[in-house]
Structure 1
Amino acid sequence: MHTESRQMVKCEICDFTCTNKCSLKYHVTSVHTKDFLYKCQSCNKGYMSKEARDSHEKIQHQGERYVCQHCGKVYSNKPCFRKHCKSHDPDHIQKVFTCQVCSVVYRSYSGYSRHMKRHNGQLLSYVCDICGKRVNTVESLNYHKKTHTGVRDYLCGTCGKGFIKRQELQAHTRVHTKERPFQCLICSNRFTQKSALNTHMRYHTGDRPYGCELCSKKFVTNTLLKGHKCKAKG
């Protein structure tokens, strides 16, 4: 009976030999994990020499981009990306926002802000003397009044357009620079503002936070809800 000779593969660290790469891989990961002097920063694969590790990173991971879904920052180094993401993790954030109506605590201002809207004006104690609109902080009132006075403290250096808030100016400048720092990790669409990304993500998750009190329909944005109500009124 004819038997084909199999090519043996040898462990680069010790004298172990076997007939296939799967067995060799199992041997290396189970026996020599602690022996690796150099590990890939992206996938943690180990190598005995710096040159082999660097070659692996260049071939396998060159050009990789890790985009933070919370703030849009981009990293090419996975450990740095993971460390940054922890800064958004509630377990690593010290600052908290407490609801003054029901004492619920939030780790992010965005969550706190959404929650406060549900109290339907219970804390809207600051009133605009021009239009009567009520807001819950002096800062919000000052910002609102500027919509009446026309005061715009932040001007675009490219087109001269003015904005009430610095964040609004930052978002606007991306129209000129074509910068889209906020990327959807599901479909790769990019956006100039984090709020736009958050709204976009609802189409993937199915989240509909704005509900009509007259029917059971829910909507992705408040604008769509208002449009729905206008149609209902005829």
Structure 2
Amino acid sequence: MFKMSTNTRKGPIFDPGVCRCCGAIKKCRLLNVEYEWQGRKEIYSDMFVDCFGLLLSHLDGEAEEHLICATCVSRLREASCFRQQVLQCEEKLLRTKIHDEGDPNDVKIETSVKEEININLELDYPDDTDHIDIDTEEMKVEPVNKHKRKLRQKLKSNKKRKEEKKEDELTKEMLYNAQRLNDKLKEMQDLELPDKSTQSHKLNGYKTNENAKSFHNIVTIVENSYACPFDTSFSDYFCVYCRQVFTDPNKLREHSMTHDPTTFKDVLSNSSSNKKVQIDTFRIDCRNCSENIQHLEQFKEHITNCHAKLYYSDSNEFLKFRLTSGSLSCTECGASFSFFHALKKHMAEHFGTCICDICGAHYFEERMLILHQKTHQRVEESFACKECGKSFKSKYTRYIHIARTHKKEAAYQCNKCDELFFSYTLRYRHMIEIHGEERTFQCEQCDRAYDSRKSLREHNRRFHLKILKHQCDLCDKRFYLPSRLKEHMASHTGERNFRCEYCGKSYPRLRGLKVHMQSHSSEKKYKCALCNASFTQNVNLKNHIKRQHQAMDLEENYHE
């Protein structure tokens, strides 16, 4: 939505507007409207024609289609001034040439001796002409004319030297200004946005020339070092080139090495996401030489001093991480986190520009801030299902409910095949079992490993952190889950609430019932390693080994 405020002195101003020339979103003016600047009238579309012979199109359409920002106006004025300077110098040069060539025709040869002498009196004679006696009546016309020609030639040569000197000074000034303009044009080319096909350039959120410096810096880092750009979804890492998912950052880095880093510029330019670029600086050695580099600041100095690469020190619009397989540390303050999702949420406190006015929480994206601000509202917004009337906290959860319950449609699609699933968990298992994704999460405290981060987190809380919030009122036992406490209470009351639907046998705990249910299964998945016997329950297999193979073990031990 464009807002327009009129200034009677300068003309209409659009704030904000999209600049037709650079794509920046800022205060803009109209290209085809007359403005006043330093007492002079200027129409920017006409200046384009005068300076570059460029006739801009679509100047009769909507106002937002032909705007120009103040930065581009100043560049256009500079180009226009440079053009006028060149024209003025050309005009001076032509006048000088015409004057020099016209002197011989303008010379009036005087024949009167008296007039000739009067002319000579007005001239500034050189030292070698001081002996001339102007009162001598015997002076002849011919010597006087000869002397006059010599003086005229000398004056002409002096004038020519002055003109040449002045011309040299103008030439030097022109060359200096041309060099300045060339440097500025080069800088503009360095900052030129890759995609020129649209008016509003989107380089992963980099829309202005100032932010294009950051775009240039990011591409320079990726192309000239072993730093690894990546995307994330919660705590999963994605390859930015092919979207393959990883849980181990070492494997992510190893995989990224198979891609050409020069293609990252196109990946970044074509990205429709406005998320900040994330770069893993675990290894940031130089690709151009064998220099080992420890940190990003050292790389910046090396790439500019040793390889003459351009790097803008005043721009740093990306998130810097140092990914490790174990705990993760913040590169700014050193705080440790078990999962990347928690680390990134913490990084918003350092670099998030979307801040809640109520509690001061920081976010990278405005949509996340809007969702957060809803938690401060007294009346919580709910979204009701039109089919059954059930309420949900978000449109997304309502959509999943409708897809699963009413439409019987799967809402989660595998990104490697066309199969659909009703839940994230089912797709998660599918990726492991069918596509062979390695998703094992090793506990740092023991040798247990899990196939999901949630299971690992539950394990840490239960066994290592001992977060047992649910305590029995009748004894000192504590439990991690309320369901475990409820099962435990049966040991005090004698209740046996878990009953088998096949035989009616009851148990005080759910685990006891689950073990019992195996006896009703026809599948004998517990097989003896010493013979061909198989059983439906693990306890039956153990009893079998004790009864049938215990004597064999004793006999082997006896022979030893």
- Normalised-by-shorter TM-score class: 0.3 to 0.5
TM-score normalised by the chain length of structure 2: 0.21
Between structures 1 and 2, the one with greater helix share:
2
Instruction: Give the greater-gyration-radius structure (CA).
Output: 2
TM-score normalised by the chain length of structure 1: 0.43
The higher relative CO (CA closer than 8 Å, separation ≥ 6) is in 1
